[in-house]
Structure 1
Amino acid sequence: MKHALFLVSLICQLSCSSKDPGYQNEILWDTWGIPHIYADTDSSLYKMMGWAQMRNHGNLLLKLYGESRGKSSEYWEVDPERDILLHQTGVLDAAETVFARMTESDKTVISSFASGINAYATKYPEHLDPHLRQVLPIRPLDVVYHTFRAMYLEFLIARNLKAAREWTAGSNAWAINGSKTASGNAMLLANPHLSWSGFSLFFEAQLIKEGNNLYGTTLVGLPTLGIAFNENLGWTHTVNTLDNVDFYEISVSDNRYLLDGNYQAIEIDSVTLQVGSDSGPQPLLVQKKRTAFGMIIEEQGDKALAISWPNSDGALDPIAQWRAMGEAENLEGFQAALDRNALPLFNVVYSDREDNILYQFGGHVPKKNGDWGKWQELQATSSSEELWDGLYPAAALPQYTNPGSGWIQNANDPPYTSTFPVAIHPSDYASHIAPNSMGFRPQRSAKLIMEASKLSLEDFIALKHDTKSELALRLMDEFEQLKTETQDSLTLAALQVLTTWDGSFDAGSTGAVLFHNLIGELGTSGYFSEAWSMDNALYSPDGLKDRKMVLETVAQVAREQLRQLGKLDPAFGDYFRLKVGGQEFPGNGGPNRLGLFRTVEYAAGQDGKFYSHAGETYVCAVEFGDTVTAKAVLGYGNATQPNNPHVGDQLALMAAKQLRDVWYTREAQEANLELVEKESEM
């Protein structure tokens, strides 16, 4: 049974609200801790969105905003590396430029969001950790700082700098039209994969105002929904294979840099940080050095490392684009929002009630001189020919609508394998826009959806919860053949475990642990005799080129597993666990590298078991009929705040491969109500 009502005045509130479908500037909190926010103006809507995020994530939000200001070390005496990078790369400068250029309407959104954050902190200071309150008050500019920190520093710059982290941002997405469904209605699957902590956490909410009823999720600290649906359409994102962060080794001398044979002045600005230490805050001068090749982040002698990243001039506003996408009423309006091209990255996968489906390889994609391979390397140059020549407009990026297949998928693969028969070809685009390849998870994704037909929403959801490893299935015939090539009893026993297993990573699967450990030694490539090719995209690579090496590795892994676990066929869920706070369940789903559509990344614990820390986060399946129907789950729950009952409260559903009903209508919300809050009382 879900949690008790927090307010004793619900009877009066319900009697007043249930007869009136209007907008009363209030939040209806449901029993999963999801806010359904009703408002008559954007100002009220986003003020309550800020308030709602503080109720569920107040400590996290303040921590993130303090970090995004570039003041982590000043506030909390931590390593100043991120603070330095935010200034040194020009991320905060770009955010300030975007803020200055915003329309009054868009400024209202972020100003109202900030005011809601501050209002909650003023009313409930005791709910917030004292050492985090120094971040208050939150300014509208802080919202933009945090947006740029998340989108540009974390998603783009940091991953290219190979910042220390144990996860890779990813996602799955499906869109199908009525030719694939039992009802004839289009459907959409949103399934992002991110870390279960920090800036990557999602917040689920519904924003309801006159003419628009938008439901979905966003990163904690962002005001607008980034993956969402309304009564007419919906979209999701996956991280795409674009290259829009490049590094240059350039020649420097006396604050000048070499460009086309002549030394040019480096534009230098500086900021002084207060870095915490045992003896109190100490000043640290950070120089911001701008060149035509980008911002200088390191110098050694007469050489410097410069980084070029998109939107460093602050010309594009991602918050405004997401808002426009959510307010679109049809395909034409949605495409107009995409034409802004203000999101720095992401594929867009879309469905609507008119049975349209769409794929766009979106983001800030620079025009460059050379192919994809060239730009994966450091560019040692002084030539202006190696500078970016602006960004491609949205219309020039890989995209299409309504493929003949009736389906679209993306699992972080390049754009050319998003449906079969292919709808767009690599030869149609410059090779530096995207590579051409298809990993095992995208292959699994494509096979699942292309082979399905006449799907109900329940069938669609069941298909999404497939846990089979495409890599395991690819190798199964090889394992069978290897049994004829050895007489070693332990190797044969291990191969028997693998070949009698169905390739699934369910809690009770008895071959998954051994396969996981085997691939940990073998890797996922390098041993295939047939390489991947576009001509056989869903069934390559294949074959083994060094069968003896594989047999030896099987024997080695089997011996080590017996030493550690005492058996070759333990149940997967005995050692791989889903855990959030005090909630813990046997795991299902496995690492991306093994080709599982159901992606869960695990990290070793001190007890010899492995615990979930990234992967499956928000899952939402939507059917666009005369009325919209949706089911969803946010595995780690919609809150992180201490003592909030919704920390980890959806993990049991995730472990059981279940989604909950999305309470999209007011009638459903009132039937599943936990708390009502009025803006007038905030």
Structure 2
Amino acid sequence: MTNYTLDWDEWATPTINGPTWPDVMQGFAYAQAYLHPNLLMAALVRAQGEAAQTLGQHSGLPHQGLTKQPQGVDYLQSDRLVWQLDIARLGDQYWQQQDPQMVLQVKAFCKGINTCRQEHPDRFDSRFANVGVITPPMVMAHVAHILVGFQVMIRQPSLVQWMQGSHPVMPSWSDFAGAGSNACVIGPAKSQHGHPMLACNPHTQWDVDLNTFVEVRLNVAGQGYVGATMVGWPGLLMACNAYQGFAGTVNTQSSLSFYQLTTNNDAFAVDGDEHHLERQPKQIKCLQKDGQYSSHEQVQTWSQRHQAFVMAQRQVVDEQQLLLMAYAGRPYGQTLRQLFDMTSATSLASFQDAQQQHQLPMFNILYAGRDEGDNQAHIQYSFHTMPPARDKGTWADWWQVLDGHKSSNICTGLTPYSALFHHQDSASGWYQNCNDSPYSCTLPSPFDPLDYPAG
């Protein structure tokens, strides 16, 4: 017996009605699993580093039903990266951080997926029958996988350039020609009927599995919400209610720090003091066509001194050089809580309170709305990222691969939200972002580069 109703329009967009948020989240999960059964399940096992074990090394081509990607997905390569970045354990850690309200919602979301699997087993690839009950840590790992993966994708050209022996250069539009996002808000003074307006188009690549969005209408105890999110997410990434709406675009940020190290038997020096890398081997299983499993070793390597994982290595003459990646936002796992409070906000003040949680590791957020109560209209631009606290240099400096043997390059702590870009009710009457710099969010620019931290 469910405590929600699920209806579909002619475009297969679900509408879920229920008395509480957990009820509606259960229905939303059921709808996602019914619409995208194999994409959803593949995303969840990928975040556990178990896609190759479940499905084999390669997804096959789109007509075979597991993927939308034209060349398919190498699940073994995906599992290696997930293990390299310890994503599954990050899901466990994030689950432990959830407050009671989010615990109920994520548990209900899992129940919706598991119920759909039970009631419609024919919609799922038969290999997913070997996957047990979907649990909250699995869902949280998927959320972490998306957020970390987006940031690694932005820096992918830097990784390639380092492996080729060159210095990373600033990204250009050609590096991301197949992806992008844009949004704009118009204040009441610039709209024909005096209402604030929001328009957005995330247009992530249609043929990338983990970038698949799902649209939904939610009615919770008579309150309506419309929005979209990534398949497998128990909450909205872009949303509007009766009072306000917000949208996100991928931002130009440097929350990741890259370090180069030279080691000797896993020992290295920072300012002359000796430290050691920590290695943990993992045997990744891969399903073969005969039903047996091959085993592939992947070593997860961590530097406690840098709070960073080893991402790559190269040989330069007689010297082995390692490339490490640090992510300052890694310990902070309440992204869903912040997004829920942003979705539920009924005024700019309550929306800003949600933003102060500083749990959103990326995205430009554009807001338009009228406050409940006094009916005042507002628009806002804000820039969300989680870079470490940096007291020197420029954004371009921190984009480079840093000398990991110097403590002055190793940043700790987190830049506070108050130090990031945010501005409301511009004199121009509009804000926009198309993955460009915050300095061009409106004209004239409301930001002075001297007022903002490096990176």
Distance 2:95 2:283 in 1: 22
> Equivalences for 1:597-608 in 2 at 5 Å?
none
Distance 2:439 2:222 in 1: 36
Indicate which of 151, 158, 161 corresponds to 2:156. 161
SS in 1 for 2:202: strand
Letter in 2 for 1:384: S
* CA deviation map 1:223-266 (0-9, x unaligned): 10111100011100011111112221112223333222111132
Letter in 2 for 1:409: Q
Indicate which of 352, 355, 358 corresponds to 2:377. 355
* 1:99 is the counterpart of 2:95: yes
* CA deviation map 1:29-55 (0-9, x unaligned): 222211111111222111111101012
How far is 1:339 from its partner?
0.9
> Equivalences for 1:349-498 in 2 at 5 Å?
349-353=366-370, 354-368=376-390, 369-430=392-453, 432-433=454-455
Which residue is 1:307 aligned to? 325
Which residue is 2:293 aligned to? 281
Identity %: 26
Letter in 2 for 1:290: W
| 4+ residue segments displaced more than 6 Å | 163-166
Distance 1:187 1:330, change over 3 A: same
Distance 1:276 1:170 in 2: 35
Distance 2:444 2:265 in 1: 57
Distance 1:167 1:277 in 2: 36
Which residue is 2:33 aligned to? 54
Does the CA contact (< 8 Å) of 1:241 and 1:412 recur in 2?
A: yes
How far is 1:317 from its partner?
1.8
Does the CA contact (< 8 Å) of 1:167 and 1:194 recur in 2?
A: no
How far is 1:183 from its partner?
1.2
> Equivalences for 1:1-80 in 2 at 5 Å?
25-78=4-57, 79=74, 80=76
Letter in 2 for 1:352: G
* 1:223 is the counterpart of 2:234: yes
How far is 1:267 from its partner?
3.1
SS in 2 for 1:304: strand
- The range that moved more, 266-275 or 345-354, is 266-275
Indicate which of 246, 249, 257 corresponds to 1:235. 246
Which residue is 2:225 aligned to? 214
How far is 1:167 from its partner?
4.9
How far is 1:77 from its partner?
2.2
Which residue is 2:119 aligned to? 123
How far is 1:115 from its partner?
0.8
How far is 1:208 from its partner?
1.5
Which residue is 1:601 aligned to? none
How far is 1:345 from its partner?
0.6
- How many residues are treated as equivalent by the alignment? 408
Distance 1:364 1:169 in 2: 22
Structure 1 portions without partners, runs of 5+ = 1-22, 434-682
Structure possessing the higher radius of gyration over alpha carbons = 1
Does the CA contact (< 8 Å) of 1:247 and 1:307 recur in 2?
A: yes
* 1:336 is the counterpart of 2:348: no
Distance 1:320 1:136, change over 3 A: same
* CA deviation map 1:178-236 (0-9, x unaligned): 11112111111111120103111110001221263211100111110111100011100
SS in 2 for 1:326: helix
How far is 1:375 from its partner?
2.1
Distance 1:108 1:178 in 2: 38
SS in 2 for 1:170: coil
* 1:326 is the counterpart of 2:343: yes
Backbone CA RMSD of aligned residues = 2.1
Does the CA contact (< 8 Å) of 1:249 and 1:378 recur in 2?
A: yes
Indicate which of 225, 246, 253 corresponds to 2:264. 253
Distance 2:293 2:3 in 1: 47
Does the CA contact (< 8 Å) of 2:266 and 2:277 recur in 1?
A: yes
Distance 1:269 1:103, change over 3 A: farther
SS in 2 for 1:367: coil
